[in-house]
Structure 1
Amino acid sequence: MNAPLPAAPAPGDSGPPPNPLAPLQRRIQVLLDKSTPHVVYRWIGLAALLLLYGVRVYFLQGFYIVTYALAIYILNLLLGFLSPQVNPELEGPTLPSKADEEFRPFVRRLPEFKFWWSSAKAVMLGFGATFFPMFDVPVFWPILVFYWFILFFVTMKRQIMHMIKYRYVPFSFGKKSYSGKNSGGKAAAKSNK
């Protein structure tokens, strides 16, 4: 037996309604794509946005819970940025531990661009929250600052100990870089002729 064919759409029904935000989403995506190679400028922009947020919170003398939540979220993103994609404790070491082992590059759990974009969105969301008085919960802010610094130092100590134990460095500055064409390769190519 043949399965029945789906009913044809009504003459006025052309499927789901068009998304009115689609042109704006495309423009934002184009700007994000163009900003990808400009790492330094993106981070300077984020620092300026954070400074603007800090000035707003300072002059309002409030929104400490929003600021605390923002700081915890960015700390969580930083941990993902510093962590390898594959956890060596669970799946075995992926980085070479001896000179004769195969080299495997460090791959982050959270890529740099996603770290930047998630941080920027969070700061913009926090900035927007400062316009709504319902988010201004009265708290004793020195306790939050103290607790955040304790959390930061404990978390970073654990992360640094993990980096030392499994011998990986999540940054590329200071590492050797090799050019594709060197004099040794030319000499080897000539000797093969």
Structure 2
Amino acid sequence: MADIATRRDPLDGVAPLTARSRLTIEAAPRGARLVLRGPDSAAVAAGQGFGLALPERLNTASTDGTRTAFKLGPDEWLLLAPENGEAEAYGAIEGAVDEPHSLVDVSPRNVGILVSGSLAADVLNFGVMLDLDLKAFPIGTATRTLFVKAEIVLWRKGLNDFHIEVWRSFAEYLHGQLEQAAREYVK
């Protein structure tokens, strides 16, 4: 009998980077990822199906601790759900939305990286050209940007807690850049 292939994330087996209690960089738990494109009215219905109201303001996130939604464009949302929840979330959203829209499962494309600790914003500013001061980038902000040369979605989950979504083909590169930045700030 043939072995069934299992998905391997690029950061499987990579130990979390920690620097005392000031910085932790680790792979986020696996999860489902969907991209919704459509008008705001479709997003309202999709939120009902998804079980979480989708954010209305651009570059913001909403979460209930299990599911998360980012509004990344005027008609674009990235939705995160628990691992192996793609089919359930997809079916619930498709059943709730009755107007033209696009819903695509991008779970195999993305991986997440968590960066936390008092040095998190400094380390991220090594490669992100955004002002990550709390006043300029408050909790709940989520935006598409670049980290050095990799396109990412950056979400500020808490005062010193960030979540990065990145295409899996850039994950090892991004992790290496974060590791290099960490060495600059933790001596």
Greater C-alpha radius of gyration: 1
Structure 1 or 2: larger helix share?
A: 1
Compute the TM-score of the two structures, normalised by the length of structure 2. Answer: 0.26
Structure 1 or 2: larger strand share?
A: 2
